[in-house]
Amino acid sequence: MRDGDSLSIDLPGAVADVLDTLRRDGGEAVLVGGCVRDVVRGEVPADWDIATSWPPEAVAGRFPGSTWENAFGTVTVIHPGGEAGIEVTTYRVEAGYRDRRRPDIVRWGSSVREDLARRDFTINAMAWLPDDGSAAAGRLVDPFGGAADLEAGLLRAVGNPDERFNEDALRLVRGVRLASRFDLRLDPPTEESIRRHAPDAAGLSAERVRDELLRILAGAAPPSRAFALMEQLGLLAVLLPELAALRGVPQSKPLGGDALDHSLRAADALPATDPVLRLAGLLHDLGKATTLANGHFLQHEEAGERLAGEVMLRLRAPRAELTRVGRLVLHHMFTYSPDWTDAAVRRFVRRVGADLLPDLFALRAADDLASGVHDPAVGGWGELRRRTAAVIAGDPLEAKHLAVTGDDLVAELGIGPGPVIGRLLAALLEEVLEDPTLNSRDRLLALARSMASG
């Protein structure tokens, strides 16, 4: 397929309606970007982006209830027939990227070709122009040969790659994501330009980088493909130097390779539906780069927690994600043996936190798979999982599960509220973890009395 070829698309009714409405009174409206790429690849797009010759005010005026929030001229049209909003963007031309991050000036453009020229890669720089009449039949607008590149399995920047990456360094990472997602080779000039510009990625805003990394991790393609490509192109050392440092760190595991190979395999083994868990898989062994001594990685999980925390802070990850990844890295080396008492199982749950267990077992399964340990019985994880579930369902595991409160202790012992009461509650919990039958009001008060006087 090439520029100007006819192409019919089976459009959702809402999308056809929006296109028709915009094409009245001399307006032009086209499908653009990812959805055209998906159609050319023979796939059904997840969302439909429309570009138009009308300025944003005129678009918003045609669709009551639409919202227009940003400076880039994108209007979100809420169509009664469509489930999600359809984004309509005014044709634009961009100029001036002084900071390699965002255009300084956005100007509305007058033609779809002008709009396509400011897009990143040829496969993303195609549009579909509906024929006169109703939107169903139409033509491909493909001035940069995106369809031919897709057919040849090539990812190529629009125009001069150095200029494109100079304008916006995020395109370096987007290029890796797209190449990996669609299994494309990088066109040599594009590849060389990415390599040359890789250091520029250091100046990107944390939010944009994090968003791209999470999109890689949430994709159907194995994340190892994108991260290995980032390494080859020099981007990994710029964006995730802690991970790049695992290259060459030896491992003695049934599956060969070094600690970076192992980490990439661990990310692949976790579900795409949980990209943050995949990130924990990617980062779980960061500590191995700094702790190797005499063939052992002493306390690498603690060093790893610190390093993973630094990565998450640098990416400005939300607090909850930072904590989740940090805790997973810290606890991923847990052990188990069938001779553990129930009290040992309770102490394990208490140390790790009941809320972390599902993630932690998933991470460990991925870690085992990435090490070449295939026997699900190894380590007895299934048994530990059952035993933790049983103690969580039935046993007191936290201070709030105790049969007495701090107030009870204050009233019974005549000690003022304060740190002593806190320490007593903690000591009572230790006793109850050991022996849950102690968890009655009378027995705990008696225990507390003897502790307070002892």
Shortest Å, Cβ 37 to ligand ATP: 6
Sketch the per residue contact string, 1 through 40, with ligand ATP: x for CB under 6 A, - otherwise. --------------------------------xx------
Site membership for ligand ATP, residue 170 (CB under 6 A): yes
Closer to ligand ATP by CB, 180 or 224: give it.
180
The span from the CA of 82 to the CA of 377, in Å, is: 49
* Count of residues interacting with ligand ATP (CB under 6 A): 10
The span from the CA of 354 to the CA of 451, in Å, is: 28
Alpha helix stretches (DSSP H) within 76-199 = 112-117, 146-152, 161-167, 170-181, 188-197
CB 304 within 8 A of CB 286: yes
- Residue given tokens 């122009």 in the structure block: 129
Shortest Å, Cβ 265 to ligand ATP: 25
Q: Facing residues of 6 across strands?
A: 139
Site membership for ligand ATP, residue 168 (CB under 6 A): yes
What is the Cα Rg of the chain in Å?
29
Shortest Å, Cβ 211 to Mg ion: 12
Closer to Mg ion by CB, 23 or 37: give it.
37
Closer to ligand ATP by CB, 35 or 360: give it.
35
Pick one of Mg ion, ligand ATP, none as the site partner of residue 120 (Cβ within 5 to 8 A by kind): ligand ATP
Distances in whole angstroms, Cα of residue 196 to Cα of each of 102, 149, 169, 192, 193: 20, 23, 11, 6, 5
Pick one of Mg ion, ligand ATP, none as the site partner of residue 124 (Cβ within 5 to 8 A by kind): ligand ATP
Amino acid identity for residue 349 in this structure: V
**H or E stretch including 289?**
helix 288-291
Amino acid identity for residue 269 in this structure: A
Task: From 77, 50, 81, 80, select the one nearest 66 (Cα to Cα).
Answer: 77
* Binding region for Mg ion (CB under 5 A) out of 5-13, 26-34, 219-227, 269-277: 26-34
Site membership for ligand ATP, residue 124 (CB under 6 A): yes
Considering only 79, 100, 156, 171, the residue that binds ligand ATP (CB under 6 A) is 171
Half-sphere exposure of 249 (CA within 13 A, CB side): 24
Number of helical H runs and strand E runs in the chain: 23, 14
* Binding region for Mg ion (CB under 5 A) out of 29-37, 68-76, 204-212, 331-339: 29-37
Site membership for Mg ion, residue 34 (CB under 5 A): yes
Closer to ligand ATP by CB, 120 or 359: give it.
120
Binding site for Mg ion (CB under 5 A): 34
